[in-house]
Amino acid sequence: MSDGDAELEARLAEQEAFEPPEEFVAQANVTDEGIYEEFAENWPDCWEQAAGMLDWFEDYDQVLDDSNPPFYKWFTDGKLNASYECLDRHLDERGDEAAIEWVGEPVEEDNRTFTYDELHREVNEFAAALREMGVGEDDIVTMYMPMVPELTIALLACARIGAPHSVVFAGFSADALATRMNAADSEYLLTCDGYYRRGDPLDHLSKANTGLEGVDHDTQTVVVERLMDGDGFDHDLADDQHSYSEVVAAQAGAEVDPVERDAEDMLFMMYTSGTTGKPKGVKHTTGGYLSWAAWTSHAVLDIKPEDTYFCSADIGWITGHSYIVYGPLALGTTSMMYEGTPDYPDRDRLWEIVEEYEATQLYTAPTAIRAFMKWGAEYPDRHDLSSLRLLGTVGEPINPRAWKWYYKHIGDESCPVVDTWWQTETGGMMVTTLPGIKTMKPGSAGPPLPGVDVQIVDTMGEEVEAGRAGYLTVNKPWPGMLRTLYKNDERFINEYWAEYSDTDSDDPADWVYFPEDGAKIDDDGYITVLGRVDDVINVSGHRLGTMEIESAIVGVEGVAEAAVVGGDHEIKGEAVYAYVILEEGQEPTEEMRGKIVQGVDDAIGPIAKPEQVVFTEELPKTRSGKIMRRLLEQIANGEELGDTTTLRNPEIVAEIQERAQSD
Ligand code: WT7
């Protein structure tokens, strides 16, 4: 490091606030500070601005129907189609422009560009193929797909015919696929033969087929051929399985009118982890969700049609839904899709892509930024990243050091960084600075977006003082919100509303949304999100329920009981730590440990695999029999232990600690 660099580092390390770069402000989509007041005074009509990002087939009657909280309805009786919004309406002006730039794993030069015209044609053909297979309006189509273009095509094809999709992350296990298809009564599956990871072909269809064995109703499957000749595995398609290329070829040139969907009709559902073992089927609608995705893409990501916008997330998560597919394409921009990992063939892969495609925005996760930081600035330094205009992060808190590294080494101190807090359930961003207006404070996501009403409260629901830790709550509904949990209104109320609402009331003022995050607020109204307060672990920005992992471990033969907690991890943010009691007569061998790790892999997927498995004869329990997870977390983090006097079995704690350390 040169002296100049060292000086700069020192200055950056101390600086607590950063102004939006002038050059950025001069061209930003949203620059009028008055928007905060305007939206507050004009709520809920302010959300006409979001709806106004779309071309509706039929205008809505009411912006918000709040007569039956928390079952809010937005843009009532409005009619639209998400595939039309993302494709058809751009064709006249942008038909020849790229909609998707797909960058495959670098096995061969097989990157693909889809113009809006081409994407429109492919979506129409696959929509026709889905219909031919019998998919009707409101039939749920499951997708179990890696980051290949057919996934985006399929989402929009479903939207075109009014069939909600349910995407299951390709890294999830066969069991996870089966559970989700069963819960959604989904009779259709889109999957693929395989895909590439670090240059090697991976057999995906075998996993999908194992999953299908666990589905309790008849299904039809479409299989995308991703692998190149010679890399395939020995698969014969069953009678109820069809080749993607064949069903699409049969529909060459087909056109399918986009069906008119009601604003409140389901666009998709997405399963996410909660406190209990069963994943939650979050339901999103066509009008509210799409307006939210489009508006936040415009206001926060500053997307313009001529941009080449790059979000490195996977479409298997909500970030990819809202900010690779629906938001960017609704705005008619070029959205990048990257199939591979950031470190193959080398650790400069993302920077190579940014340079080659002249990406204008990069939206990624703190876990990735921490890895980049660890690898060192030499990798981004190899490339010209000057096309970048804005940087974003999402998924977990970002510490000021990582924020500043991103700001300096990727953004060259000339790009605003938006730290966006939101969730699967919120549909899109909720708390973040507006990049053309607000001062940025590393480590704090920022104020709530205009029109979003957030309070930090104590357990009684009273607002806490600035600087004190409390719970994040949302006090008014917003268009992008989930409408319910699929076929489970009661769980919807219990999970998100019961904590702080008067659930007997019909008055929307008595209803408060609780996202289960801890947070604090400063004197300027900036919010620092502290993390989940439920039993959910955030591994590399992915939400995993401790109960889900525990039940996977208890499912392993010979295991009697298990407790799982999240411990700190340098790159992943949090990692899974498991404390396991074996059945009488079972030995705590390496083989047993292997079986436990495999059991979690089978039930959920590799991301949930425990970092450490500690065998013990007992778990620390309170006198009422509750496991003291706090103590286990302290053990996982190698921290000093808190008070153990309220335990029924205080002596076990030191023993577990000793075993954890000697492993
Ligand atoms: C949870 C939601 C939002 C899409 C990706 C994850 C945490 C998310 C931030 C942020 C601090 C964050 C919260 C939230 N989270 N963004 N900017 N700062 N924490 O979606 O899987 O639904 O997880 O991720 O804990 O509740 P998800």
Q: Read out DSSP for 382-444? A: TS--TT--EEEEESS---HHHHHHIIIIITTT-S-EEEEB--GGGSS--B---TTTPPB-TT-
Q: How high is the pLDDT of residue 229?
A: 84
Of residues 122 and 4, the one with the higher pLDDT is 122
195 part of a folded domain: no
Total number of domains constituting the chain: 2
Band of residue 109 on the pLDDT scale cut at 50, 70, 90: low
Q: Is residue 375 part of a domain?
A: no
In tens, the pLDDT along 195-208 reads 999 989 999 999 99
**Any ligand 1 atom below 6 A from CB of 394:** yes
Distance 662 CA to ligand 1 centre (A): 34
Write down which residue in 530, 557, 582 finishes a domain.
530
Mutate to test the pocket of ligand 1, among 421, 526, 604 (most ligand atoms within 8 A of CB): 421
Q: What is the DSSP letter of 448?
A: B
- Tell me, yes or no, whether 653 and 565 share the same domain: yes
Domain boundary, last residue among 530, 559, 588: 530
146 vs 148: CA distance, rounded Å: 6
Same domain as 570, residue 469: no
Q: Do both 602 and 567 map to the same domain?
A: yes
Average pLDDT, the chain: 95
Examine the domain organization and report whether 641 and 540 are in the same domain: yes
**What pLDDT, on the 0 to 100 scale, is given for residue 374?**
94
Question: Is position 296 within any domain?
Answer: no
Helices 651-662 and 629-636: crossing angle in degrees, nearest 10, is 30
Atom 18 in ligand 1: residue holding the nearest Cα: 397
Does 264 reside within a domain? no
Residue closest by Cα to atom 27 of ligand 1: 423
Last residue of a domain, one of 512, 530, 548: 530
Q: Are 627 and 509 part of one and the same domain?
A: no
CATH code (residue 549) = 3.30.300.30
Residues 463 and 555 in one domain: no
Same domain, yes or no, for 508 and 618? no
Sorted by sequence, the CB contacts under 8 Å of residue 463 that are 6+ apart come out as 455, 456, 457, 470
Contacts of 275 (CB under 8 A, 6+ apart): 495, 534, 535, 536, 545, 547
Residue 516 CA: which ligand 1 atom is closest? Answer: 26
Edge-to-edge strand ranges of the sheet holding 141-143: 241-243, 220-224, 188-192, 141-143, 165-167, 266-272, 280-285, 484-485
pLDDT of residue 3: 60
In the DSSP assignment, the letter for residue 192 is E
Note whether 521 and 624 are same-domain residues.
no
Return the beta strands (E) in 475-617 as ranges.
484-485, 517-521, 527-532, 536-539, 542-545, 559-569, 573-582, 612-615
Q: Would residue 595 count as lying in a domain?
A: yes
Indicate if the alpha-carbon torsion angle 243, 246, 249, 250 is positive or negative.
negative
Is there a domain that residue 72 lies in? no
Of 172, 275, 312, 538, the residue with max ligand 1 atoms within 8 A of its CB, to mutate for a pocket test, comes to 538
23 and 414 Cβ atoms separated by less than 8 Å: yes
Determine the distance separating the centroid of ligand 1 and the alpha carbon of 396, expressed in angstroms. 5
Please check whether residue 315 lies inside any domain of the structure: no
**Cα of 550 from ligand 1 centre, angstroms:** 22
Same domain, 525 and 542: no
Nearest of 438, 428, 350 to residue 394 by alpha carbon: 428
419 lines ligand 1 (CB under 6 A): yes
| Residue 553 and residue 468 share a domain | no
The whole domain housing 554 covers 535-662
Quick one: pLDDT at residue 2? 57
SS3 109: coil
**CATH value at residue 464:** 2.30.38.10
Asked, for residue 240, whether it belongs to a domain, the answer is: no
Q: End-to-end CA distance of the chain, in Å?
A: 38
For the complex shown, is ipTM > 0.90? yes
Averaged pLDDT, 441-467: 97
Q: Check whether residue 503 and residue 549 sit in a common domain.
A: no
Q: Is the CB of 296 under 6 A from ligand 1?
A: no
The DSSP letter of residue 564 is E
Q: Specify the pLDDT at position 414.
A: 97
Residue 646 shares a structural domain with residue 549: yes
